Amino acid sequence: MKHISTVGRTKEILEKHHFTFKKSLGQNFLIDSNVIKEVIHKADINENTGVIEVGPGIGSLTEHLAINAKKVLAFEIDQRLIPVLDDTLSAYDNVTVINEDILEANVPARIEEYLSDCDDIVVVANLPYYITTPILMNFLTAHLPISRYYVMMQKEVGERISASPNSKAYGSLSIAIDYYTEAKTVQHVPRTVFMPPPNVDSIIVELKTRSERKVEVDDEDSFFKLTRGAFLHRRKTILNNYQTLFLDGKKKKDEIRALFEAAGIEPVRRGESLSLEDFKKIYDAFKKSDLEFA
């Protein structure tokens, strides 16, 4: 039988189960086996790998993961797809599909339950465009035993994730990703390999979890408030943005200036010019100040 990830087989499955796409769930199914095989190869999936997939759809990527990995744990929010996946993946006994919203699921417990005997745990997924960032940040901030992520996403988001300082795409998301992982773009994916085709092209990003952080902070919540605060208004200086970020900021302009002076950072700079290490300096100075977030 042909792989799920072909136009003919996909149409056959959709017709058999009378399935209709829900735009609100960002459902775009892969219909190109070559793209999927390249994903499997680059993600280095083997018989010792446990894979977490988000949004398996009808199983086009899941099938190839099942063939190559030790186990696959897939989270699917759409109840209508559970019987479809039971059908399409019936030949594979190493796949577990859970009907849960990934943003609400107890992922650490699920990993312990289903993937604890795997030597390596990897996330491989065609992420729903509308919640790509929350999904990734939930995974990363939970400090899960995941060695790397190999994820397909909207091109614009992928470019933000792997962006460097002083680039148009660089922002607080770029900094958060750099804090937790080493990120790089590995492949561009045209919209034509999906059914239905989305309105934008996609990009595949590899994220390797850092064994040691580039910087160490003891309060990640405060650290990321400082990074996000620098981008409240991209065209404004960090001095102006932090007047909004801090309680009574306009009245405490001199204290905010002193914060930047202590950090050795010019207050007239913009957020996009600051590296992860620069924000660590600001964070260290903030911890010694009396400033409070608004």
Burial class (CB in 10 A: 0-12, 13-18, 19+), 183: middle
55 is in an annotated binding site: yes
73 is in an annotated binding site: no
C-alpha 120/C-alpha 45 separation (Å) is 9
Count each helix (H run) and each strand (E run) in the chain, helices first.
12, 9
106 annotated as a binding-site residue:
no
CA 14 – CA 60 distance, rounded (Å): 12
Q: Exposed, middle or buried: residue 24 (CB in 10 Å: 0-12, 13-18, 19+)?
A: exposed
Confirm whether residue 259 is marked as ligand binding.
Answer: no
Q: Report whether 75 contacts 138 (CB < 8 A).
A: no
CB proximity list for 11: less than 8 A, separation 6 or greater: none
290 is in an annotated binding site: no
Nearest-CA neighbor of 201 among 147, 157, 266? Answer: 157
117 phi/psi in degrees, rounded to 5:
-95, 10
Return d(Cα 111, Cα 221) in angstroms, integer: 25
Question: Rounded distance, CA 265 to CA 257, Å?
Answer: 9
State the Cα–Cα distance between residues 32 and 212, nearest whole angstrom: 37
Decide: 191 and 199 in contact? Cβ < 8 Å: yes
| Residue 28 marked ligand-binding | yes
Binding residues: 28, 30, 55, 76, 101, 126
Binding residues for S-adenosyl-L-methionine: 28, 30, 55, 76, 101, 126
